[in-house]
Copies of this chain bind each other. A is one copy, B any other.
Amino acid sequence: MSTQPLAGLGEFELIERIMSRLGSVAARDILVPPGDDAAAWLVPAGAVVATTDALVEGVHWRSGEHATMGWADVGWRAVASNVSDIAAMGATPQHVLVVLTVGPALDLEALDALIDGVSEACTAHEVHVAGGDIVRGGETSVSMTVIGSATADASGEGGDVPLLRRDRAREGDVVAVSGWPGASGAGLALIEAGRADEPEHAALVAAHRRPHARVALGRAALAAGVRCGIDVSDGVLQDAGHIAERSGVGVEIDLEALPVHPRAVAALGVDGARDLALGGGEDYELVLVGTEDALRALDTPEVPVTLIGRVVAAHPGDAWALDATGARYVPTRAGWDQLRS
């Protein structure tokens, strides 16, 4: 467990092993592929959209005997969580840069699995690895940067590049969410309870270990004229709160309108499932704010988009959940704030 089985491999051997294992996911056809001082690729005039996010062993996941996920899941999630931030702008993710900090728990088998997870998530999200860095450390972590692009509006508003922004909610807009928020939190609760292998919970466990970023939905929302959105990384209430704060409006979420996963209700009860939707983390669904017509048109059988609330003038800067009587409802489980112990 605490040996350092990668110590015998040098930095360059490890990079070669990783690049070879990434296969077609390595960005080999760009202007300057991985292996130079920096990667380079051609872009048309428009906007570069970039985000960065890290997963740390023991904070974002546990390995070993009471593991919350396998190494391949860690690799997958690192990609999906970053791609989700680009999806939440309505932009197109393209290239990934990876910093891998190799701690004692990461042996060669674990490294290979982690890279396989990165590779599978890159394939699923249509992005390529353009570069990275590998360093030694006392704990394993994966930092990623995803860089994408957005192009000028076809309607030609003077070279404007439209994006989904947090500060674009206006009084009278409605609020929608994709998928089943809280599913990831329910999956984690089942994993922690030692029930991850029960077949009826597979969808919830997969929501935690293998989330899919909503890239196509973000782009479709932008094309439909929606200009405000965020991804759900800290629970619907906290993330809708960011929109309220940045837009200077109030947001109201109807508790009973929340699309909770039927399996989450079965496992945790309707109150538990709703609290996880409001305050659980890491769903990577999108909260979208716009006109009712635009949002309704985004709903599909594969990725449901459900209206859950509205933008109001009251309580500016805050998102409130309201129960069936119209009273403010405060979930038991608060949003995920990584730095508070």
**Chain A interface (Cβ within 8 Å of chain B)?**
4, 6-12, 14, 31-32, 35-54, 56, 58-60, 84-86, 88-89, 91, 95, 97-99, 101-102, 130-139, 141, 143, 145, 147-148, 150, 161, 163-167, 229-231, 246, 337-341
Contact = CB atoms under 8 A, between A and B. Distances in A.
A17 to B, nearest CB: 12
Contacts of A230: 37
A149 to B, nearest CB: 8
Closest A-B pairs by Cβ, 6 of them: A38-B51, A37-B88, A145-B145, A52-B97, A143-B143, A37-B85
A86 B339 CA distance: 32
Nearest to A86: B38
Contacts of A130: 50
12 contacts: A11-B340, A36-B246, A37-B51, A38-B49, A40-B161, A48-B147, A54-B135, A56-B135, A56-B136, A60-B135, A134-B339, A137-B141
Contact of A40 (B44, B89, B167): B89
A271 B161 CA distance: 57
B339 A6 contact: yes
Given A135-B54, A139-B139, A43 B40 contact: no
A36 B49 CA distance: 11
Contacts of A47: 31, 40-43
